[in-house]
Homo-oligomer: A and B are copies of this chain.
């Protein structure tokens, strides 16, 4: 809510995308374009365009003043149109009569919001692009870096850090594809007039809508969408999904950053993440920012979904839910996307600790590899039973599984020392990991 925490949690609005100013700019861009479109099709005099356009600059208005009037009006567009009309009238009384011609407040607010969202997509896509680039580099660089796979937080056979990075990247590629698909739906004109019939625009209504969509470079909808908010809901869900994926990335990395695991740490500015009482600590701040955003998002998406059943031609209390929840969600998304980019770019990996952790179970995580190798010779069930027994004994006696196996004649008959050594090399049991990385990287180019 406040600047201090916004900064700290990366939800500050450095670009000013969600300020009063930006909101006014969105609505005023609508009003100016509306005048142009209407004049273009002869719905209003061409002479009205310039005076109206001249008034459509956000810095001409005082948000606090507007805010006070908006309280009386129920939305910010009503006083803004009133002020704009006065402003235009100062230059051209006749033109003032054509301000907001045939439109309703919600048209200005919704189309203004769409324009804001289009602006918002620029830094967001840039942030995601940077993140994908950083992930691709990591996936490439660590394509063959083995580390313990972990399921249920328990070690399993090895994976590679490259594979982890490729998995995150693959999901982001899907998110990008989803964005491509939803963009034309999201970036759609809202123009409906008082109740969505455009009746006030008379015969030229269709032409005005078409011209306005073209002017603003927005999709022209089959029907105005003032009370059907699935386009916004879809985008909110997309953001929620993205934050969930970023949360997955941050969760994995933060677990790797535990002292007891020690495979990664957040790099970056010296002193970052230091503790007030624990001088030696380096806290995973970027992870925290991302996880905090991912933790707040589901409730926001749920609020927007719950607000979908809006009454008749304009909702009562549910349309209004969008007004603050959607910008909030956008701020979380951009903040988390940037934090993820920074995190990956500055990430410090400790390959030595990865190797050490792979050795932690004394070979047990490679039991599957030996089972498969023995199975080919002995049959799978026999191999399985044999390894299970050896595993149990190795654990009980605190012995390495390889050493235990080396004592078993059934094993020695099939696997000599070299073969056993090879089986217990994590690098030799990485399966398709490298090829999976390649497949994801191929899509990135």
A278 to B194, CA, bound (A): 8
Q: Is the CB of B440 within 8 A of A222?
A: yes
Residue among B98, B300, B318 making CB contact with A292, cutoff 8 Å: B318
Chain B: minimal CB distance from A192 (Å): 9
With A76-B4, A276-B81, A321-B295 as contacts: A440 and B223 at CB distance below 8 Å: yes
Q: Contact check, A305 vs B241: say whether CB atoms are below 8 A apart.
A: yes
B277 touches A200 (CB 8 A): yes
Q: Which one, B18, B364, B380, contacts A2 given CB within 8 A? A: B18
Q: A228-B170, A276-B100, A372-B200 are in contact. Are A222 and B443 (CB under 8 A)?
A: yes
CB neighbours (8 Å) of A72 from chain B are: 269, 271-274
Interface string of A286-308 (1 = CB under 8 A from B): 01111110111111111101111
Cβ distance A324 to chain B, nearest Cβ, rounded Å: 6
A259 proximal to B (CB < 8 A): yes
The A196-210 residues at the B interface (CB cut-off 8 A) are 196-202, 205-206, 209
Within 8 Å of chain B (Cβ to Cβ): is A128?
no
Q: Are B381 and A324 in contact (CB under 8 A)?
A: no
- Chain A residues 245 to 270 lying within 8 A of chain B, measured CB to CB, are 245, 247-248, 250-252, 254-255, 257-261, 269
Q: How far is the CB of A191 from chain B (nearest CB, A)?
A: 10
Residues of A221-257 whose CB lies within 8 A of B: 221-225, 227-231, 233-234, 237-238, 240-241, 243-245, 247-248, 250-252, 254-255, 257
Please tell me if the beta carbons of A174 and B230 are within 8 angstroms of each other in the complex.
Answer: yes
Decide yes or no whether A129 CB sits under 8 A from chain B: no
Decide if A425 is an interface residue (CB 8 Å cutoff).
no
* Docked CA distance A200–B443 (Å): 26
A63 to chain B, nearest CB (A): 5
Please, which residues of chain B bring their CB within 8 A of the CB of A411? none
> Once bound together, how far apart are the Cα atoms of A76 and B2, in whole Å?
12
Contacts of A436 in B (CB 8 A): 196-197, 222-224
A120 at the interface (CB under 8 A from B): no
* A282 pairs with B154, CB closer than 8 A: yes
Report the minimum CB–CB distance from A90 to chain B (whole Å): 14
Cβ of A412 within 8 Å of any chain B Cβ, yes or no, is no
Cβ contact of A237, chosen from B241, B321, B388, B430, cutoff 8 A: B241
* A361 neighbours in B (Cβ, 8 Å): 259, 280
Q: Is A77 an interface residue (CB 8 A)?
A: yes
In Å, the complex CA distance between A443 and B223 comes to 12
Across-interface contacts of A152 in B (CB, < 8 A): 74, 273, 281, 283-284, 288, 311, 314-316
A212 interface contact, C-beta 8 A: no
* A11 within 8 A of partner (CB): yes
**Residue contact A289 to B320, C-beta cutoff 8 Å:** yes
A residues 79-135 in Cβ contact with B at 8 Å: 81, 94, 96-98, 100-102, 104-105
Residues of B within 8 A of A255 (CB): 153, 258, 311-312
| CB-defined contacts of A97 to chain B, threshold 8 Å | 375, 379-381
Q: Which residue of B lies closest to A96 (CB)?
A: B381
For the complex, give the distance between the alpha carbons of A323 and B316 in Å.
Answer: 26
Cβ-defined contact, B197 with A163, below 8 A: yes
Max chain B CB contacts within 10 Å: which of A197, A231, A290, A327? A197
Interface residues of A in 344-394 (CB under 8 A from B): 357, 360-361, 364-365, 367-369, 372, 375, 379-381, 384, 387-388, 391
A379–B45 Cα distance when bound, in Å, is: 12
Q: For residue A303, which residues in chain B have a CB less than 8 angstroms away from its CB?
A: 295-296, 298-300
A393 to chain B, nearest CB (A): 11
Other than A230-B244, A280-B391, give 8 A-B pairs with Cβ distance below 8 A: A1-B327, A71-B285, A78-B276, A151-B313, A154-B284, A206-B435, A279-B367, A280-B395
